[in-house]
A and B are shown apart, each in its own frame.
Chain A
């Protein structure tokens, strides 16, 4: 390829285009590329740039956009306790993902990564919640957590105490949400680990066997180091995923009680979109965008610095 570009660079741009045209490349290019690019620009890139612009205005969504307010939206955001809570909730979700979900997924992956029929059955079961819609999962778990029905109802009856409504409890409601998030996504991370473990060459394991490595030594000195890229990647997905949790929260608590369980996105929806505070919602979007970008870039720096999978 390098030699090809070398010979091409001697041609003038016009000559290159003319040659592409003779070969039929130009027609293909002009027919095939623009549809994807146009759609992508209209619905992905343009809204993001527009968000940055709108976030400096106060606008109700109708009429002219002429009420420039500078950084006022961002200042309000920085001072809003509900937004602080939603950020803190995202941090809690990230911590739970990193320290509960990923270790759980990794343990399960190590237990069932070998291709046997029983393992396949377990894999299928563990992965099922990931396929279910967030909304359906949220509704199912709101039944389980219902103080009059579900688990907590049963426990309360068994102990002869008043029913406990965990989703209406400021202290525990978010814990319930974390439980559902872990339930929903651990299988996803497990699948990433299983794919990585299956790619570990057998002869490395055999070599370790010959060297007399024990069960745990093989796990900690051979398998885990070899799938480190998958673990880092999984951590990255967990963080980005935690930043955008929305669908699960709506059926479970809808951000309540007293706005204590909002995520960034449910906050954005409630305070920006539902009330058509366009500028304000755009500002929340920009903050979320920056958080995602910072995560992506620091991930590239930290995790993939030495030529990983990406």
Chain B
């Protein structure tokens, strides 16, 4: 390697390490912070804990609220994923498989959903959820989340379904398999990669969502974990060790999940952005 090449490699390594440190250090400090006392945290926010206290963590894990938040979030996120995959793949299948008058217009109508964030309609959305009597009901979060994922999910699923070999349908149709039977017996089983991509993406969005549960759920028994974090922080104000431990426990499963599913997340992201 020539001299400028070596110098550039050095700069490259330095840039990458610095940025990586900026990402990791706050996260590590959070995990470690949960093992410290408030005093230790104040003296050394980023260092290793002098004594590894696990009480803060075990208190939260054994406490009354933590698992409730996780459970509520899991119920909401899994339902949103299931409903989105179900409804969006059915609609996408129609667009991909059947040519009918108005198909283009309906698709354009659905594409409107890609254009704006749901914060724009949050006030009337709140009224709508209230009209349906869904305040303080997980469905009040699940249904709007599903509706707002619909456009993105249909776009991805439709383009995947269109790439499935046409001969397959023709053969099945001759053998007496109808449109609905074909969907369940062939289209869905053949589409697991795209279903995983869309599902993971919807899951992450639903799991992290704050504004919608904040508006819909008042009763703390129904809180999702982001609402739980804010409530916990309100309770313990300056006891940063507790707050950091709570945050660590809630983001740890997300980080593990992400490590295993990043393939799908990245696929959804880039597919969505290239074909969006």
Question: Which residues of A approach B to under 8 Å, CB–CB?
Answer: 1, 4-5, 13, 16, 20, 23-25, 27-29, 31-33, 35-37, 39-40, 42-48, 50-51, 54, 61, 104, 107-108, 111-112, 122, 124-129, 131-136, 139-141, 143-144, 146, 148-151, 153-154, 183, 187-188, 191-192, 195-196, 215, 230, 233-234, 237, 240, 243-244, 246-247, 250-251, 265, 268-269, 272-273, 278, 281-282, 285-286, 288-289, 292-293, 296, 309-310
The answer to whether A309 touches B275, judged by C-beta atoms less than 8 angstroms apart, is yes
CA distance A220 to B233 in the complex (A): 48
The answer to whether B120 touches A289, judged by C-beta atoms less than 8 angstroms apart, is yes
Segment at the interface with A among B50-58, B60-68, B190-198, B240-248: B240-248
The answer to whether A51 touches B94, judged by C-beta atoms less than 8 angstroms apart, is no
Which B residues are in CB contact (< 8 Å) with A153?
42, 45
Q: How many A-B residue pairs have CB under 8 A?
A: 279
Which B residues are in CB contact (< 8 Å) with A251?
229-230, 233
Partner of B259, one of A45, A124, A126: A124
The answer to whether B255 touches A131, judged by C-beta atoms less than 8 angstroms apart, is yes
Which A residues are in CB contact (< 8 Å) with B147?
39-40, 42-44
The answer to whether A48 touches B120, judged by C-beta atoms less than 8 angstroms apart, is yes
Question: Which residues of B approach A to under 8 Å, CB–CB?
Answer: 8, 12, 15-16, 19-20, 22-24, 26-27, 29-30, 33, 41-42, 45-46, 87-88, 90-91, 93-94, 97-101, 106, 109-110, 112-113, 115-128, 143-144, 146-148, 150-151, 154, 178-180, 183, 204, 207-208, 210-211, 215, 226, 229-230, 233, 238, 240, 243-244, 247, 250-251, 254-255, 258-259, 262, 265-266, 269-270, 273-276
List 9 additional contacts besides A28-B180, A35-B90, A43-B147; criterion CB under 8 Å.
Answer: A25-B98, A32-B94, A44-B147, A44-B150, A45-B109, A131-B254, A153-B45, A247-B208, A288-B117
CA distance A143 to B113 in the complex (A): 36
The chain A residue with its CB closest to the CB of B182 is A28
The chain A residue with its CB closest to the CB of B114 is A296
The answer to whether B123 touches A37, judged by C-beta atoms less than 8 angstroms apart, is no
The answer to whether B128 touches A43, judged by C-beta atoms less than 8 angstroms apart, is yes
The answer to whether B98 touches A28, judged by C-beta atoms less than 8 angstroms apart, is yes
The answer to whether B99 touches A135, judged by C-beta atoms less than 8 angstroms apart, is no
CA distance A192 to B274 in the complex (A): 9
The answer to whether A1 touches B269, judged by C-beta atoms less than 8 angstroms apart, is no
A-B contact pairs, 30 of them (CB 8 A): A25-B100, A28-B97, A28-B180, A32-B90, A33-B91, A33-B94, A36-B91, A40-B150, A42-B147, A47-B128, A50-B121, A50-B127, A107-B15, A111-B15, A128-B23, A135-B230, A136-B251, A139-B229, A140-B27, A148-B42, A154-B45, A154-B46, A191-B266, A192-B273, A247-B226, A265-B117, A265-B119, A285-B124, A292-B117, A296-B115
CA distance A275 to B109 in the complex (A): 33
CA distance A40 to B113 in the complex (A): 8
The answer to whether B226 touches A149, judged by C-beta atoms less than 8 angstroms apart, is no
The answer to whether B251 touches A273, judged by C-beta atoms less than 8 angstroms apart, is no
What DSSP secondary structure best describes chain A's contact surface?
helix
Q: How far is the CB of B268 from chain A (nearest CB, A)?
A: 11
CA distance A27 to B179 in the complex (A): 9
Given known pairs A183-B22, A192-B273, A278-B123, the reply for A127 and B262 (CB within 8 Å) is yes
Given known pairs A44-B148, A135-B208, the reply for A143 and B119 (CB within 8 Å) is no
Given known pairs A131-B254, A143-B240, the reply for A126 and B23 (CB within 8 Å) is yes
Partner of B16, one of A108, A188, A286: A108
Q: How far is the CB of B138 from chain A (nearest CB, A)?
A: 15
Given known pairs A13-B101, A146-B240, the reply for A136 and B116 (CB within 8 Å) is no
CA distance A192 to B273 in the complex (A): 7
Which A residues are in CB contact (< 8 Å) with B29?
140, 143-144
CA distance A296 to B91 in the complex (A): 25
Given known pairs A37-B91, A191-B266, A191-B270, the reply for A289 and B179 (CB within 8 Å) is no
The answer to whether A136 touches B262, judged by C-beta atoms less than 8 angstroms apart, is no
The answer to whether A128 touches B110, judged by C-beta atoms less than 8 angstroms apart, is no
The 7 closest A-B pairs by CB, nearest first: A43-B147, A133-B208, A47-B121, A28-B179, A195-B270, A281-B123, A36-B91
Which B residues are in CB contact (< 8 Å) with A44?
112-113, 118, 121, 147-148, 150-151
